[in-house]
């Protein structure tokens, strides 16, 4: 006998890499049906078997205004027109699934409040780490934990570039060019290489984990464009790998230190071995201790996996209750008190090019000492033909503010030619 259950109608906005993966994956579920798809360019060829052209439109408001559609899936990214489309869809009684990390980081608060006022849910598993399940686990199975620390690799492009630099001993520029040719990096890679993408993701992840709102403007951000092949080499010698780490720490006074920057990560740590386009999230909390989830952070089917999971979670509840998925809803009203990067304590790796004069090492030590900084190691790596020395320093734990004072003092010092690199070290 035919099952007469009403199919849940889906509206897709965006049919790029992820949208295509979602459409193809949904084909194997009998209880859902894609009713309409909005695309930017109707004439773009798409490698999707059996795509019915009659459901494709270049007018996205036709999707959010369609009375038959139950769930709107937004996969176009960016703030405009995504924000208006989602708000209109919610007003029209639709639930939302999105992969839009920028929108959540910048407008999440307004969006979740608006959805709650209209008794609709917004799910966003795909917005943080592609195919890695992280949002639902934090909201459900880890709900009994006080999470105090997240360290994560959330951007595949930068992780790919850093891995290739490490393996090939190549420069940042050479590897970026190669990554662009292979399609791992965009023609304009700024969003990835300057850390914006990872910053959007850690903003939402920290808000969720700490149950306090994190504002994107309080997230310190530094990209990978200044990392040199020599830094990779020095880090390896010292027992580290260099990774772009998105981190969030909640201190004993419940203040949030949220940031994205390159780090020397100990080879003993899991994150040091997350290579190429893989992503990983390490979470520390009580009572669970520390756990790490890793997997594909992007791509057609891994990201589609998260999107479809969200769609099916909503579809399973439609028609069974007036208040869907209470555990997945946004419950935090208070904003976290942010910690300024200048007030944080870190260890540092410092690469200095100095004149090979007597006493230069002593001078470096003295400037650090005058600014309350102790050194864990100081290595001079030979002398060049032009009589300059490459000196590598690793500090003990010290204040960021003191470190910046040291850099300022070095920049005024005649015996120091250049600060090549200043990179924080994982504690």
The answer to whether 151 and 260 are in contact (CB under 8 A) is: no
1: confidence class by pLDDT, cuts 50, 70, 90: very low
CA 306, CA 29: separation in Å to the nearest integer?
Answer: 15
Query: In this structure, what DSSP letter does residue 339 have?
Result: P
Q: State residue 4's pLDDT score.
A: 52
- What mean pLDDT, rounded, does the chain reach? 94
Which whole-number Å values give the CA distances from 406 to 13, 315, 347, 350, in the listed order? 51, 58, 14, 11
The answer to whether 251 and 244 are in contact (CB under 8 A) is: no
Longest alpha-carbon distance in the chain: 92
pLDDT, tens only, 344-372: 999 999 999 999 888 889 999 999 999 99
CA dihedral over 380, 381, 386, 387, signed as positive or negative: positive
Phi, psi of 368 (to 5 degrees): -65, -45
- What is residue 13's three-state secondary structure? strand
Query: In this structure, what DSSP letter does residue 421 have?
Result: E
Domains of the chain as residue ranges with CATH: 8-130+300-328 (3.40.50.720), 135-297 (3.30.360.10), 345-425 (3.30.70.260)
Q: Does 46 score more than 90 pLDDT? A: no
Active-site residue (options: 107, 201, 212, 243): 201
Respond yes or no: is residue 226 known to be catalytic: no
Q: State residue 2's pLDDT score.
A: 44
Tokens 């992007």 correspond to 298
Q: State residue 92's pLDDT score.
A: 98
Three-point CA angle 336, 337, 342, nearest 5°: 130
Helix (H) or strand (E) holding 165: helix 156-168
Half-sphere exposure (CA, 13 Å, Cβ side) for 201? 32
pLDDT, tens only, 70-121: 999 999 999 999 999 999 999 999 999 999 999 999 999 999 999 999 999 9
- What is residue 240's three-state secondary structure? strand
Q: 51-67: string of b/e by CB count within 10 Å (b at 16+)?
A: beeeeebeebeebbbbe
Three-point CA angle 100, 104, 105, nearest 5°: 115
């Amino acid at each position: 006998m035919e099952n007469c259950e009403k199919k849940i109608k889906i509206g897709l906005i965006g049919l790029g890499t992820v949208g295509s993966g979602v459409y193809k994956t949904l084909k194997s579920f009998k209880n859902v049906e894609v009713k309409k798809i909005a695309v930017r360019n109707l004439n773009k060829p798409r490698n999707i078997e059996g795509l019915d052209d009659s459901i494709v439109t270049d007018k996205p408001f036709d999707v959010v205004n369609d009375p038959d559609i139950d769930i709107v899936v937004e996969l176009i990214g960016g703030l405009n027109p995504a924000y208006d489309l989602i708000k209109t869809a919610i007003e029209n009684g639709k639930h939302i699934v999105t992969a839009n990390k920028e929108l959540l980081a910048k407008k999440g608060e307004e969006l979740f409040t608006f959805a709650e006022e209209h008794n609709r849910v917004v799910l966003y598993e795909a917005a943080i780490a592609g195919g890695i399940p992280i949002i639902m686990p934090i909201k459900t199975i880890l709900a009994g934990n006080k999470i105090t620390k997240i360290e994560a690799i959330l951007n595949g492009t930068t992780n790919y570039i850093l891995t290739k630099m490490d393996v090939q001993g190549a420069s940042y520029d050479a590897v970026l060019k190669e990554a662009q040719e292979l399609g791992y990096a965009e023609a304009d890679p700024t969003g990835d290489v300057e850390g914006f993408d990872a910053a959007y993701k850690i903003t939402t992840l920290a808000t969720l984990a700490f149950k306090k709102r994190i504002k994107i403007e309080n997230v310190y951000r530094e990209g990978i464009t200044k990392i040199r092949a020599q830094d990779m080499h020095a880090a390896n010698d010292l027992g580290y790998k260099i990774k772009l780490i998105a981190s969030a720490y909640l201190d004993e006074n419940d203040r949030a230190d949220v940031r994205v920057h390159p780090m020397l990560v100990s080879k003993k740590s899991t994150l040091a071995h997350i290579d190429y386009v893989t992503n990983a999230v390490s979470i520390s909390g009580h009572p669970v201790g520390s756990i790490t989830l890793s997997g594909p952070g992007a791509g057609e089917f891994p990201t589609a996996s998260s999107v479809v999971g969200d769609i099916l979670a909503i579809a399973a509840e439609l028609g069974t209750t007036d208040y869907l998925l209470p555990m997945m809803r946004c419950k935090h009203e208070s904003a976290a008190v942010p910690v300024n990067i200048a007030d944080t304590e870190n260890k540092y790796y410092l690469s200095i090019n100095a004149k090979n004069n007597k006493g230069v090492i002593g001078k470096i030590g003295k400037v650090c000492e005058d600014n309350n900084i102790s050194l864990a190691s100081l290595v001079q790596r030979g002398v060049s033909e032009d009589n300059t020395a490459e000196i590598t320093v690793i500090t003990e734990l010290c204040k960021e503010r003191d470190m910046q004072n040291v850099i300022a003092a070095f920049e005024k010092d005649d015996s120091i030619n250049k600060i090549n690199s200043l990179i924080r070290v994982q504690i």
